[in-house]
């Protein structure tokens, strides 16, 4: 679907939009947390572009998914890494694709197990229609409407590419 140059352009747009969003919200020192795996890749790129001083955090939501019993344990379960205190801090939660909202719901559940942030802003590279939960992104680089059964996946990390896969 897109080559690495297109993803780089989307990341530049996303970083600019996120910076504007945070400025309007009066947030000048956010914590950034990426959801494994694609969200972590996007978060790394945004973290660099925004020049954030705080370390980058990552979340593994494997045990928080509502379909865990159906899909079983993924062979590459990674631990979450949140090298900061979340309490009363503004968090930017980053993912690659927002579709049904279930991944973000799982990420919020895990995030709140670590503390109580002042706010959580959601930044995603791609949004798709088809929400099953009332979740929307504060910042999204692009929206894709795909045919029934099609999926979009971010591959990488070097180079990052968006790939549409048939259902």
Segment 18-21 long-range contacts (CB within 8 Å, at least 24 positions apart)? 18/46, 18/50, 18/92, 18/121, 18/123, 18/139, 19/50, 21/121, 21/138, 21/139
Instruction: Name residues of the chain where pLDDT drops below 50.
Output: 71
* pLDDT value, residue 64: 67
- DSSP-assigned states of every residue in 35-99: ETTHHHHHHHHHHHHHT-SSPPEEE--GGG-TTHHHH---TT----B--S--TT-EEEEEEEEES
C-alpha closest to that of 131 among 114, 117, 119, 143: 143
How much is the pLDDT for 2? 52
CATH code where residue 39 lies: 3.40.50.2020
CA–CA gap between residue 146 and residue 150 (Å, rounded): 6
Residues spanned by the domain of 46: 4-165
**pLDDT of res. 112:** 96
Per the structure, the count of domains in the chain is: 1
């Amino acid at each position: 679907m897109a080559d690495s140059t297109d993803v780089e352009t989307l990341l530049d747009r996303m970083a600019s939009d996120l910076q504007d969003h945070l400025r309007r919200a009066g947030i000048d020192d956010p914590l950034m947390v990426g959801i494994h795996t694609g969200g972590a890749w996007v978060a790394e790129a945004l973290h660099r572009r925004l020049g954030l001083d705080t370390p980058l955090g990552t979340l593994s939501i494997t045990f928080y998914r509502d379909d865990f019993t159906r899909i079983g344990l993924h062979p590459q379960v990674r631990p979450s890494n949140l090298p900061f205190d979340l309490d009363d801090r503004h968090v930017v939660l980053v993912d690659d694709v927002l579709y049904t909202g279930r991944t973000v719901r799982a990420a919020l559940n895990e995030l709140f197990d670590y503390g109580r942030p002042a706010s959580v802003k959601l930044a995603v590279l791609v949004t798709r229609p088809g929400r099953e939960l009332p979740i929307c992104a504060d910042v999204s680089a692009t929206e894709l409407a795909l045919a029934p059964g099609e999926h979009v996946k971010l591959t990488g990390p070097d180079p990052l590419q968006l790939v549409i896969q048939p259902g």
